[in-house]
Amino acid sequence: MTLFAIFGLLWWLRKRPLPSGALFGLYLVLSGVERFLVEFLRAKDDRFLLGFTTAQAIAALAVVGGALLLVMIMRRSGWSVDLGLRRARAGAAEGSRGQT
């Protein structure tokens, strides 16, 4: 069920102006976190490294790999995640200037 939510988010982001590879990096991070958490609920007893399963170790590698990919993309393209904060701050600054 959570992978449907991840799919929905990635599908929604596909039309946004993102650098090449950013969606894949985000997919690796999100699906890796999902798989890591799901493995806690499974009843398998194949723990091998510090109490983690093989699937959790692979999921952790996917999260780290995806995060590194996103950082490399951000540095290479000058891309930043502002979530609209720059526009909100700029609008607030312009509004306060006009009131003086």
Tell which residue, 14, 30, 19, 96, has the closest CA to residue 67: 30
Q: What is the pLDDT along the chain (100 residues), one digit of tens a residue?
A: 788 999 999 999 888 888 888 889 999 999 999 998 888 787 667 777 677 888 888 899 999 999 999 888 888 887 666 655 555 555 555 655 555 5
What is the CB-side half-sphere exposure of residue 96 using CA atoms within 13 A? 6
At 73 the pLDDT is 87
Q: Is 18 left (phi over 0), alpha (psi -120 to 50) or beta?
A: beta
Domain ranges of the chain: 2-98
Which DSSP letter does residue 83 get?
Answer: T
At 91 the pLDDT is 57
**Sequence-ordered strand ranges (E) for the chain:** 47-49, 52-53
